[in-house]
Amino acid sequence: MMNDVDALCHCGSGLKHKRCHGSILDPAKAVGNLPPNATSFRTGLAGFPGQLQQMHVMNQFPADDPRSSVPLQGAPGLYEVVFVLKRPGFPLMGERQMSFSNGLEGDSHLGIRPPAFTPPGGQDVDRILLQSVGDDGRFEFIGTANQRGFLGKITSRPIQARDRFHAEEIAFRALAPSLSEFSLQLDIPLEIAQIETKDLFTDSCQVTITLPFFDVPLIVAPQSRTEPDFRGVASLYREALNSNSPIYQFLCLYKIIEALRARRKKLQRAAKATNLGQVAATPEIVPSTHQEIRVWLEALFYVRPEWSLVALDSAVPPEVRGKSFDDVIADTLNPLRINIAHALFEDTRHELTISYDELLDTRKVAKLVPFAKCIVRRMMKSDFRAEFLAHVPD
């Protein structure tokens, strides 16, 4: 990070750092204490842009109150899980603005009461009851409509769970098949905007949302001509970022990795055929420490925030640190890609190995999306030095 605010910016714009990259600051501040009746608040980024984040809101109790000893994640007991829906492309609130479920109406394309839809003989209907029976037991959910009559929120009856994470997992597993069937039968999307899980003993909760991207200045040098390989990668990268599906994002990013590796082999064969000497490639190794990861990220992104530990761990999960790109691609990314491909495209003789109604499966993919993005950017910077991040030093 640059300490001298009067120094020129690293991006090559010719402007002082404080008037270029140094001017892009996260306007949100970390939340401290919230008033008891608060329904919304502004929050700072504590993770990797575009990825899931969980905000924990803990009620405070006197030391002699038994609720004061409950750990952050909760304890075995009863929980309530609220799924807030939204129409794709229409956010429920501004970026970095968070709201508890009681401050949101939610929205969807599914009409359940007037004026959107009047069930036969149901003029006074104001909610629906969903029941689910599965491996985790029997569950009931109450679906409520917004003022226009469209399904906006789905709330579980009390769920017995080990902690808040477990409650969210089993509630999602119980509800998701119903949402998937509605989507299939009625040809409508049913997108979950956020999930709120409340401990009914302490009323503490966690809210799961998707982090917004950074606001950035226009500092990319215009290029009148780029080679087809570069244009293809850029288009697929944009396609990944425009999607709200971690499965699709991962597939796009992995396809870029495959394409870049194939391009390297093609160039090596061409050099060998023409007897041109090839400089041995520098081994590509995943950084190991938080400080190394921070330096690594600063070479891969124009905007250099104060990366939080959560963001560093999201960008480079502990299980891949210190390994070569080849090993990580072969042992971590490719097996996941194969599972997804079997579920979506290939070899109909095999049963599905991954379910998109299974929260742990989708979270497993989502966890690796930031890392796959960093692998792509590092490979791009090595292979397209004149076109990609040319002014950002290594």
> Which pLDDT belongs to residue 34?
59
Cα–Cα distance, 39 to 29 (Å, whole number): 17
> Which pLDDT belongs to residue 328?
96
CA 112 to chain centre: 30
Specify the length of the chain in residues: 394
Rounded (10°) CA dihedral 233, 237, 240, 246: 100
Cα–Cα distance, 389 to 381 (Å, whole number): 7
Question: Which residues are bridge partners to 156 per DSSP?
Answer: 141
Residue 48 burial (C-beta neighbours within 10 Å; 0-12, 13-18, 19+): buried
Q: 379 is written with which tokens?
A: 């490979």
> Which pLDDT belongs to residue 1?
34
The tally of CA atoms less than 13 A away on the side-chain side of residue 240 is 25
> Which pLDDT belongs to residue 119?
80
Cβ–Cβ < 8 Å for 164, 77: no
Interstrand relation of 191-199 and 205-210 (parallel, antiparallel or unpaired): antiparallel
> Which pLDDT belongs to residue 134?
83
Cβ–Cβ < 8 Å for 357, 177: yes
Tell me which H or E stretch contains 325: helix 325-328
φ/ψ of residue 9, rounded to 5 = -70, 145
Q: For the chain, which residues score pLDDT lower than 50?
A: 1-5, 9-13, 15, 17-31
pLDDT in tens, 355-373: 666 655 788 888 999 999 9
Write the single-letter amino acid at 141: F
Cβ–Cβ < 8 Å for 372, 336: no
Q: 38 is written with which tokens?
A: 């608060």
